[in-house]
Amino acid sequence: MRIALASDHAGFQLKDHLARSLAAAGHDVTDLGTDSTESVDYPAFAEHAARAVADGEADKGVLVCGSGNGVAIVANKVAGVRAVNAHDVEEAEMCRRHNDANVVTLSGAHLAPAQADAIVATFLATDFDGGRHARRVDQITAIESATGATETPA
């Protein structure tokens, strides 16, 4: 699977760990930065990875910041992205099964590497249930269209 991976400085160490874990599991990982713990602004990195998913350059995205919240907010501004900040494997499973989430965000400050590995593995291995849930995902897409979220800002 093609994975777009990005973080800010607070998520760098966990992202670096995940890059190695995902590659070892046979995934094609595109690490979109950051490359150190030096302070950076997370929106640019999160947007780059989210756009890779939305544009079909990656199958899924994994984003890390201190809380996982900031990168989730940014990713969800990109039309076609459904990002969820998962705190455990159950949330990772349910966001895939019911919401067809295509980006998972993680807290670099609160998750140990083993926890993050389990969350990401579950996220990547879980299929979308479809059915009644597809109708709801279609409604999300309709909201994106109605609000102009599909347009790229000038």
Active site residue 9: no
Catalytic residue (choose from 48, 65, 87, 110): 65
Cα–Cα dist 153/129, whole Å? 33
The values of phi and psi at residue 137, to 5°, are -65, -40
Query: Which pair of structure tokens corresponds to residue 79?
Result: 């039309």
Question: Of residues 17, 87, 98, 133, which has the active-site annotation?
Answer: 98
Distance CA 88, CA 118 (A): 8
- φ/ψ of residue 80, rounded to 5: 95, -5
Active site residues: 65, 98
